[in-house]
Amino acid sequence: MPFIANTAEQQKQMLAEMGLTMEKLFSDIPKGLLCGQLNLPDGLPEQEVREVLAGLAGKNSIDLTLFLGGGFYDHFIPAAVYSIISRSEFYTAYTPYQPEVSQGTLQAIYEYQSTICRLTDMEVANASIYDGGTAMYEAMMMALRITGRNKVIIDTSVNPIYRVMIESYTRNLKIELVQTHCATGLVDREQILAKLDNDTAAVILQNPNFFGCVDDFSDIAEAAHKKGALLVVSCYPISLGILKTPSSMGADIVTGEGQSLGMPMSFGGPYLGFMATRMEHVRKMPGRIIGRTKDRNGTDCFVMTLQAREQHIRREKATSNICSNEALCAMTALVYLSLLGKEGLRETAQLCADKASYAYSRLTAIPGVKSHFKAKWFFNEFVLDLPKDAADVIGKLIEKGFAAGFPLSRYYPDMKNCILVCVTEKRTKQQIGMFAEALESVL
Amino acid sequence: MVVKGLLYTKDHEWAKIEGDIAIIGITDHAQNQLGELTFVELPDVGKEIKQKGELAVVESSKAASDVYSPVTGKVIEANTKLEKNPEIVNDDCYGAGWICKIQITDKGSTQNLIDAAQYEIYLKGL
């Protein structure tokens, strides 16, 4: 049904026809919920609106050189990505409801699923979910369903925003969330083992973790499996170009934020949650799954499969009632990965690591700046101890044209002067040098 | 089709009582309503279950339904043949398509099940 605007005169006529007043028409809605008169200014001509909006937009600090990561990353996006995804055949935000007539979209999602499987080395991926945080929440719920248990261990080195999301989603559920504290940059095995028991459904970890440190969770996977628990690993997809895959560590469910795969950083989204698991758990996985089959003429075709798990069929017992496919973002990730190819992804990841390593040595050479953790291995982010309050330093560097990093005290109160610095393949040697000089000048 | 000698629930499960063991399945009416089954989620052996508790899940291309336990007891065997061939339930729901065997721990839980004649009348009223 189209939106049909009506005039005050037409409203009067319609109400008269029904024998109602506007108050009576909306009498079922409690008074406190009605918005009444909206406090909106009078309309403006389009040209003036553009000027007002341009003025507001001008207040943003743009063109900063980014050394800020913390879950979202400034990677180069080839122009072809946008050209391809903006074709009208692909330009939908959603899985089509009549899948059979949208073979192209279904094929694209199927190929997206295949690339996620290749990337994570897992057996089956879904058509995507909202973002990295909800993907982790869904993985946790999936682990609870698989094991029939209700205790979950999550480490503080997992992205704090994801942890806030999980706490928020599970506040009214009977789930025991146990937190282990990361003090060295790497997951403390002793704490995990002490908390891991026969009631544990899952251990949730992240690699590289929020501090950028790289770990190998193979031993934790083994310990978890011995207790009948699952290992959930959230990962940074670009890093998989060079790092050991979660699958080879023994992870049972792999999730992550897909923004780094061709999506610009844009005030919180829309982004992409990806999720993959082993075939034995496929029926417990939420979200849409596109499958490949043959039609009655023996021709390859694509269908939505295993739908009985989903909310439109399974209703309140569905694997999830809050998830949705992010078709256009999934398409973006697919196009980005296809353009880079295997070699391109590996090179991008290597460049990130090499440039971060160079930046680390430049920045830690500044008097008073030290590495916070002793842990040696990081991917493209690292934590520095500054001699001053990190938030103040970041504020001063914005004036010099740099988004210097993330002040960790925002989520870790004991890390007062700590800054999380990120370097992607986009940063040049010159930019890194200028950043080091700028940082030194404000300390 | 209703088979005499079995006990039924209004949720369309059947139970064949042999001493203190109950063999459980879904009725012809249930399999017919679901259509061709694509998956049966079997209960774990050893699972303790109350009457009307969620025992298994039967899934077809158009629906997934819970199978509720007709009796209170402990699962002692599951029909693992259904893992690879769920359509056995469609072909022979009262025979080879049984879902699991339950050791009845509360004999009283069989008292409120209905017999074949009562189930038939119930089906006619649907």
Task: Quote the DSSP letter at residue A101.
Answer: G
Distance (Å) from the alpha carbon of B69 to chain A's nearest alpha carbon = 17
Q: Are residues A93 and A242 in the same domain?
A: yes
Q: Do A280 and A372 share a domain, yes or no?
A: no
Asked if residue A69 and residue A125 are part of one domain, the reply reads: no
pLDDT higher than 80, residue A36: no
How many pairs of residues across A and B have Cβ atoms under 8 Å apart?
A: 18
Taking an 8 Å Cβ-Cβ cutoff, which residues of chain A contact chain B? Answer: 283, 307-309, 313-314, 317
Cα-flanking dihedrals φ and ψ of residue A86, to 5°? -85, 0
Instruction: Check if the beta carbon of residue A201 is closer than 8 Å to that of residue A208.
Output: no
Dihedral through CA A393, CA A399, CA A402, CA A406, nearest 10?
A: 40
Measured distance CA(A170)–CA(A185) in Å, rounded: 27
The tokens for A326 are 């992010």
Tell me, yes or no, whether A213 and A326 share the same domain: yes
**Which pLDDT tens digit goes with each residue over A77-135?**
999 999 999 998 888 766 666 777 888 889 999 999 999 999 999 999 999 999 999 99
Are A308 and B66 a contacting pair at CB < 8 A? no
Task: Assess whether pLDDT exceeds 90 at residue A313.
Answer: no
Q: Is residue A12 part of a domain?
A: no
Q: Is residue A6 part of a domain?
A: no
Of A313, A335, A357, the one marking the end of a domain is: A335
| Other CB atoms within 10 Å distance of the CB of residue A36 | 6
Question: What is the pLDDT at residue A1?
Answer: 46
Given A319, A335, A351, the domain boundary residue is: A335
Q: Are residues A394 and A268 in the same domain?
A: no
Contacts of A307 in chain B (CB under 8 A): 61
Looking at the fold, whether A331 and A358 belong to one and the same domain comes out as: no
Crossing angle of helices A327-364 and A103-120, rounded to 10°: 30
Q: Compare all CA atoms of chain A with the CA of B58 and give the residue at the minimum distance.
A: A308
Question: Nearest-CA distance from B60 to chain A in Å?
Answer: 7
A234-290 tens-digit pLDDT: 999 999 999 999 999 999 999 999 999 999 988 878 899 999 999 999 999 999 999
Contacts (Cβ under 8 Å, ≥6 apart) of A191 = A180, A181
Residues A301 and A390 in one domain: no
Which ipTM did the prediction report?
Answer: 0.75
Together in a domain, A314 and A352? no
CA distance B1 to B10: 15
Inter-chain touch B60–A308, beta carbons under 8 Å: yes
Residues A134 and A89 in one domain: yes
As for how many domains chain A has, the answer is: 2
The per-residue DSSP string of B35-83 comes to: -SEEEEEPPPTT-EE-TTSEEEEEEESS-EEEEE-SS-EEEEEE-THHH
Domain boundaries, chain B: 7-124
Closest CA to A209 of A254, A257, A158, A164: A158
pLDDT digits (tens, 9 = 90+) for A279-308: 999 999 999 999 999 999 999 999 988 887
- Rounded-to-5 percentages of helix, strand, coil across chain A: 45, 15, 40
Cβ burial, residue A430 (10 Å; 0-12/13-18/19+):
exposed
Alpha-carbon distance B61 to nearest alpha carbon in chain A (angstroms): 7
Residue-range definition of the domain harbouring residue A159: 79-335
CB atoms within 10 A of CB B13: 24
Of the residues B59, B82, B84, the best mutation for testing chain A's interface (the one with the most A CB atoms within 10 Å of its CB) is B59
The neighbour count for residue B105, using CB atoms within 10 Å, is 14
Q: Select from A335, A360, A389 the last residue of a domain.
A: A335
Share of chain A above pLDDT 90, in %: 81
A104 and A209 in a single domain? The answer is: yes
Residues A246 and A366 in one domain: no
Q: Give yes or no for a contact between A257 and A272, defined as CB atoms under 8 angstroms apart.
A: yes
Give residue A295's Cα distance to chain centre.
36
| A24 found inside a domain | no
Mean pLDDT of A343-360: 98
What's this model's pTM, rounded to 2 decimal places? 0.88
Which CATH number fits the domain that encloses residue A109? Answer: 3.40.640.10
pLDDT tens digit sequence for B37-94: 999 999 999 999 999 999 999 998 778 889 999 999 999 999 999 999 999 999 999 9
CA-CA distance, A229 to A231, in Å (whole number)?
A: 7
Which CATH architecture best describes the domain B7-124? Beta Barrel (2.40)
Compute the nearest-CA separation of B111 from chain A (Å).
29
pLDDT band at A2 (very low <50, low <70, confident <90, very high): low
Chain B: give the shortest CA distance to residue A264, in Å: 39
Residue A352: pLDDT over 80? yes
User: Which residues in chain A have Cβ-Cβ distances shorter than 8 Å to B59?
Assistant: 308
Same domain? For A288 and A382 the reply is no
CATH of the domain at A400: 3.90.1150.10
Which residues on B lie below 8 Å from A308 (Cβ)? 38-39, 59-64
CA dist B125 and B103 (Å) reads 32
